[in-house]
Amino acid sequence: MTTAARAMAVAVLIVVTVTLQVSIFANLSIRGVVPDLALLVVIAAALVRGPDYAAIVGFVAGLALDLAPPADATAGRWALAFVVVGYLTGLARQESDVSLLGTVAMVAAGAFIGTSVYALSGLVLGDPGVSVRSAFSVVPVAVGYDVLATPFVVPLVVLLVRRLEPAERW
Amino acid sequence: MQPTDPRRSRAVLGLLVLASLTIITVDARRDTAGSPVDPLRTAAAAALGPIEGMAASVATPVAAIPNYFGDVSALRQQNAHLEKANARLTTRLRASAANAHRTAELRRIGMFADQKGYRVVPAQVVALGPAQAFSATVTIDAGTDDGVVPDLTVINADGLVGRVVSAGPQTATVLLVTDAKSVIGARLSESMEIGFLSGEGQLGSDAALKLSLIDHTVSPQAGDVVLTWGSRGGAPYLPGIPVGSVVKVHSSPAELTQTAEVRPYVDFSSLDVVGVITSPGNRTTKSTAMPAGGR
């Protein structure tokens, strides 16, 4: 497979994930919080490929989430949050081998960092929807829900990314 | 796995963070004239909107069980209601509950529209913004191809839903009245007093709006009906659309305005069929208000 074809495949994966997240999974919300599938894809990418790759996947997935309807906030905020998450989880992955518990911890940390960076950027930009109180009520639920969704999403994406790109090439 | 070159790694990170910050900076200055990111947004709406619509229709059999399925934490309260409704609905459920529900909903929206002389484009909610994004927006499956453009009023059979903020060819994004960015001119139907209704950013069935009256000597009563006051030219909100009723009144001598908590008629946790008012219809009310011998 050529590099372009691989990039295309990952892009399709990201589009599908973002679409599912806002349409079908929106029906499964807990207090309005939806499992952040795009974030799980970024973390899975970090587990397989490390910080560089995950940061790029994070940027693209975040931008898709920023632009896909019904998003109405300032664009670039999810992109920034996911770049940070991808890079940090990628670094953490290099420190230790991946165990089941380690993956769950990474997802929890990633969800916490991602949602917090997004909320903080909203506070900085003066988004009226974001307050410290609303952030405190949303972030824990988001972390919990993402951890719950991990066993269904992360192994699938890890397998897919592994198949797509043999590790030696990078 | 071989460790990545830390220098290259940091360069990639720096580049991507810079790119994100640039997009944020460029887009944060968005005003009524739009932002340079808007073409991207429209392109994303054109490309992703139809896919969201497809995904939503694939999910219909699942999501059809339904309107009662919206929010897991609200399930408990809805259970009692569900049981009562269940007996009545079972037969209809078997023969595609969702369609029957939607038809009924559409008929009710149609009746409201006829009564007011509005022209309404029916649409279905295909995607919801997550609470993680701290905004209350939904995607509907009608767009510029159907005559939906920004600033149109969106209703459902129960009352005001929100307004269109952006539209792609086949989908449009609706800002719900519960969003913290949403402010509506409102009128109390009893006293005709005017004020402003602002969203509190809550989602779910317990969402409330905050009403601030302009005249601080008037005190709203619990149970008062709140209607839209209307803007010039009918955009973004047409006048006289029911929004909700007053449930609690807060008055403090220190504040200049009276505030009240308003519970919207629309259940935002189970939004399904909505109508976009594309034309306010004939202006009969204006001409009939003329003095009889005036002409």
Residues of chain A contacting B60 with CB distance shorter than 8 Å:
none
Nearest CA in chain A to B65: A27
Residues of chain A contacting B13 with CB distance shorter than 8 Å:
51, 55, 83, 87
pLDDT confidence of residue B294: 38
Q: Is the pLDDT confidence value at B95 over 80? A: no
**How many percent of chain B have pLDDT more than 70?**
73
**How many percent of chain B have pLDDT more than 90?**
1
Residue owning tokens 């139907």: B189
Residues of chain B contacting A115 with CB distance shorter than 8 Å:
132
Does the CB of A94 have a partner CB in chain B at under 8 Å?
A: yes
Of A66 and B90, which is predicted with more confidence?
A66
pLDDT confidence of residue A101: 82
pLDDT digits (tens, 9 = 90+) for B108-137: 777 777 777 778 888 888 888 887 788 888
pLDDT band at B75 (very low <50, low <70, confident <90, very high): low
Interface test with A, best of B20, B125, B126, B198 (most A CBs within 10 A): B20
Query: Is B59 close to A24, i.e. CB distance below 8 A?
Result: yes
Query: Is A20 close to B58, i.e. CB distance below 8 A?
Result: no
Q: Is the pLDDT confidence value at B148 over 70? A: yes
**Rounded to two decimals, what is the model's pTM?**
0.73
pLDDT band at A81 (very low <50, low <70, confident <90, very high): very high
Of A19, A30, A79, the CB nearest to B72: A30
pLDDT confidence of residue B96: 60
Complex prediction ipTM? 0.79
Poorest-confidence range of A96-100, B60-64, B124-128?
B60-64
Task: Name the minimum distance, in Å, from the CA of B9 to any CA of chain A.
Answer: 5
**DSSP per residue over B191-258, as a string?**
T--EEEEEE-S--STT--EEEEES-TT----TT-EEEE---GGG-S--TT-EEEEEEEEE--TTSSS-
pLDDT confidence of residue A42: 93
pLDDT confidence of residue A57: 92
- CA separation (Å) from A12 to A8, A19, A84? 6, 11, 22
| Segment B39-57 mean pLDDT | 84
Query: Is B28 close to A87, i.e. CB distance below 8 A?
Result: no
Interface test with A, best of B5, B9, B16 (most A CBs within 10 A): B16
Of A69, A122, A131, the CB nearest to B49: A69
**DSSP per residue over B16-67, as a string?**
HHHHHHHHHHHHHT-BTTB-TTHHHHHHHHHHHHHHHHHHHHHSHHHHTS-T
CB pairs below 8 Å between A and B: how many? Answer: 217
d(CA B265, CA B161): 9
| Segment B22-37 mean pLDDT | 78
pLDDT confidence of residue B295: 37
Sign (positive/negative) of CA torsion B285, B287, B291, B293? Answer: negative
Q: Is the pLDDT confidence value at A123 over 80? A: yes
pLDDT confidence of residue A39: 92
Does the CB of A98 have a partner CB in chain B at under 8 Å?
A: no
pLDDT confidence of residue B128: 83
pLDDT digits (tens, 9 = 90+) for A40-51: 999 988 888 888
pLDDT confidence of residue B203: 62
pLDDT digits (tens, 9 = 90+) for B173-197: 999 988 888 888 888 888 888 888 8
Burial of A5 (0-12, 13-18, 19+ CB in 10 A): exposed
Query: Is B173 close to A69, i.e. CB distance below 8 A?
Result: yes
Residue owning tokens 């997009």: B23
